[in-house]
């Protein structure tokens, strides 16, 4: 499928310069390194050049040129991906959206706003806030990730239980297909049943069908007085009971969990205090809009019920924005804190009700094979998404560690398949999960995906080798 270079690098660069200008095509070592990979750092970047278009028309011209000269394109957003979806290791032309970060056409009645693909997530969040609204998709890399990349990977994060994934906030999408057609999909409409919703195909396609150049994003009412509980629980069934009980009565904005090991790491490496004295195997973080005194009383009553039922052994509720932020740090700082142990990371999901058995199966597998490995669990119980992290033991060689983890991966994905889960809950497939796609998708589905790609990208020039070969 992947396009081979039939034109000389010099010709390609000259033609690219004719489209975007000399200074917007770069091939110095520094930029090839920075823009040739994402956060995975697992592959050696080797793009031919990095091009920085400023308009949708320039992007379209670049794609048409790629068809003509037969070079491959790798889209590049904030490069915060964790699956290698933005890696360019085979002489591709990287199309960066760094110079397409304009926000326009805000409408307060529609509560929509048009973003060029390179708008940073936080930039959109701030824009919404300035206009008394809210962009609810949020995650640790919001300060660097770009809207185009978020859409291409259908980014999830910490508020999915209430607000859904990026998919749910894309009211319109302007794309350039692999064959160079510019499509304006759905154009901001809330209700539109006029033919296939092709917009949905581009969301989560990781740039393999075409390039997202612009999106009309939906905003919503800003949440009021967000308030969080952190509750200590003895076992996973307790977490599920807790989840079930709260969800039946209240509209939660988040339901996260983390283990005592995760908590210990965070408090040992930052100024954030433990939430309370009791030590529990697991903790749940619940967040809701405390709209008024009645909601607060209801939340407290539910908490007390959960204590009486024996599901919760201790707990704390935030009383200020400061306390809310500190409780969130217990969960949000985990990833950065454990990064010094060069962790093996895996992002998997199952249906919510199977999470306890799923987690136990994975833990049993890892512990049996590598009893010395420390496992750090955290994730989004409210949507069945677990982040498995295995820390490299001090003194173990990095390569040896990752080699051992590779055997873990196969076992983990076998469990995922047994539980009908997903090999990639929110990080996408990219290069890293490609060998394991068949644990989540049937051969018939993968064959159909290949044919769908063929429709939009007949020459196979769009992010070749990602998701499937």
Within residues 16-75, the interface with a second copy by CB under 8 A covers none
Give the nearest distance from C-beta 143 to a second copy in angstroms.
Answer: 21
One of 126, 251, 336, 363 touching a second copy (CB under 8 A): 251
Q: Which stretch binds a second copy (CB under 8 A): 26-34, 70-78, 361-369, 442-450?
A: 442-450
Q: Any alpha helices (H) in 81-194, and if so which ranges?
A: 121-130, 147-152, 160-163
212 contacts 151 by C-beta, under 8 angstroms: yes
Residues 6+ apart with CB under 8 A from 265: 334, 337, 338, 376
8 A C-beta contact, residue 393 and residue 372: yes
Q: What would the DSSP string read from start to end of 363-423?
A: HHHHHHH-TTPEEEEEEEGGGTEEEEEEEPPTT--HHHHHHHHHHHHHHHHHHHHHTT-BS
Contact 94, 76 (CB under 8 A): yes
Of the candidates 224, 125, 163, the residue with the CA atom closest to the CA atom of residue 383: 163
Sequential DSSP letters for 2-37: PPPP-S-HHHHHHHHHHHH-GGGEE--HHHHHHTT-
**Residue 143 interacts with a second copy (CB under 8 A): yes or no:** no
Find the binder of a second copy among 3, 93, 120, 201 (CB under 8 A): 201
Per CB under 8 A, which region of 25-33, 60-68, 394-402, 439-447 contacts a second copy? 439-447
Q: Is 239 in the site for a second copy (CB under 8 A)?
A: no
Number of neighbours of residue 408 by Cβ within 10 angstroms? 20
**Contact 469/1 with Cβ under 8 angstroms?**
yes
Q: Are 280 and 232 in contact (CB under 8 A)?
A: yes
Contact flag: residue 290 with a second copy (CB under 8 A): no
Q: Which stretch binds a second copy (CB under 8 A): 134-142, 248-256, 330-338, 398-406?
A: 248-256
Per CB under 8 A, does 207 bind a second copy? Answer: no
* Piece of the chain touching a second copy by CB under 8 A; list 23-31, 59-67, 267-275, 428-436: 428-436
Q: CA-to-CA distance for 307 and 423, rounded, in angstroms?
A: 35
393: tokens are 């033991």
CB of 185 to a second copy, least distance (A): 8
**Residues 121-140 within binding reach of a second copy (CB under 8 A):** 132
Torsion over CA of 34, 35, 41 and 47, rounded to 10 degrees? -110
Binding residues among 377-416 for a second copy as defined by CB under 8 A: 380, 383-385
- Of the candidates 18, 279, 300, 351, which one interacts with a second copy according to CB under 8 A? 351
Q: Supply the minimum distance, in Å, between the C-beta of residue 187 and a second copy.
A: 5
Out of 123, 253, 337, 422, which residue is the one contacting a second copy (CB under 8 A)? Answer: 422
The angle formed by the CA atoms of residues 346, 204 and 150, to the nearest 5 degrees, is 80
* 294 touching a second copy, by CB under 8 A: yes
Q: Count CB neighbours of 121 within 10 A.
A: 27
Question: Measured from the CB of residue 65, what is the shortest distance to a second copy in angstroms?
Answer: 19
Report the site for a second copy in 146-185 (rule: CB under 8 A). Answer: 153-154, 156, 160, 165, 167-168, 177, 181-185
Nearer to a second copy, 181 or 363 (CB): 181
Segment near a second copy (CB under 8 A); pick from 51-59, 104-112, 333-341, 389-397: 104-112
Interface segment toward a second copy; rule CB under 8 A; list 291-299, 313-321, 331-339, 399-407: 291-299
The only residue of 10, 28, 130, 194 in contact with a second copy, by rule CB under 8 A: 194
């Amino acid at each position: 499928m992947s396009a081979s270079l039939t034109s000389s690098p010099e010709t390609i660069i000259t033609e690219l310069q004719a489209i975007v200008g000399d200074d917007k095509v770069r091939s110095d070592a520094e930029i090839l390194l920075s823009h040739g990979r994402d956060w995975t750092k697992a592959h050696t970047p080797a793009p031919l050049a990095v091009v920085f278009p400023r308009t949708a028309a320039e992007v379209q011209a670049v794609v048409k040129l790629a068809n003509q000269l037969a070079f491959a394109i790798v889209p590049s957003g904030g490069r915060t991906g964790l699956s290698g979806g933005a890696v360019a290791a085979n002489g591709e032309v990287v199309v960066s959206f760094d110079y397409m970060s304009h926000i326009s056409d805000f409408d307060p009645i529609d509560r929509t706003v048009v973003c060029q693909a390179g708008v940073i997530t936080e930039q959109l969040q701030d824009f919404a806030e300035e206009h008394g609204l809210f962009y609810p998709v949020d995650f640790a890399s919001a300060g660097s990730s770009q809207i185009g990349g978020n859409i291409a990977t259908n980014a999830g994060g910490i508020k999915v239980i209430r607000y859904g994934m990026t998919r749910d906030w894309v009211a319109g999408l302007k794309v350039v297909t692999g064959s160079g057609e510019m499509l304006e999909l759905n154009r901001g409409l809330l209700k539109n049943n006029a033919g296939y919703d092709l917009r949905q195909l581009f969301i989560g396609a990781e740039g393999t069908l075409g390039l997202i150049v612009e999106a009309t994003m939906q905003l919503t009412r800003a949440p009021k007085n967000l308030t969080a509980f952190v509750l200590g629980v003895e076992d996973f069934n307790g977490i599920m009971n807790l989840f079930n009980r709260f969800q039946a009565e209240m509209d939660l904005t988040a339901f996260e969990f983390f283990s005592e090991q995760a908590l210990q790491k965070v408090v040992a490496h930052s100024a954030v205090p433990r939430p309370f004295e009791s030590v529990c195997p697991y903790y749940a973080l619940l967040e809701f809009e405390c709209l008024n005194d009645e909601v607060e009383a209801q939340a407290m009553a539910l908490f007390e019920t959960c204590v009486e039922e024996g599901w919760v052994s201790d707990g704390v509720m935030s009383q200020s924005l400061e306390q809310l932020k500190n409780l969130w740090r217990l969960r949000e700082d985990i990833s950065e804190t454990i990064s010094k142990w060069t962790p093996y990371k895996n992002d998997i999901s199952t249906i919510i009700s199977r999470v306890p058995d799923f987690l136990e199966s994975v833990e049993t597998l890892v512990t049996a094979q590598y009893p010395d490995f420390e496992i750090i669990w955290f994730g989004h119980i409210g949507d069945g998404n677990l982040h498995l992290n295995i820390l490299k033991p001090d003194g173990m060689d990095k390569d040896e560690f990752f080699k051992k983890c590779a055997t873990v991966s196969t076992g983990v994905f076998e469990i995922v398949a047994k539980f009908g889960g997903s090999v990639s809950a929110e990080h996408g497939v990219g290069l890293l999960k490609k060998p394991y796609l068949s644990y989540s998708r049937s051969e018939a589905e993968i064959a159909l995906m290949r044919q769908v790609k063929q429709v939009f990208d007949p020459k196979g020039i769009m992010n070749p080798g990602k998701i499937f070969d």
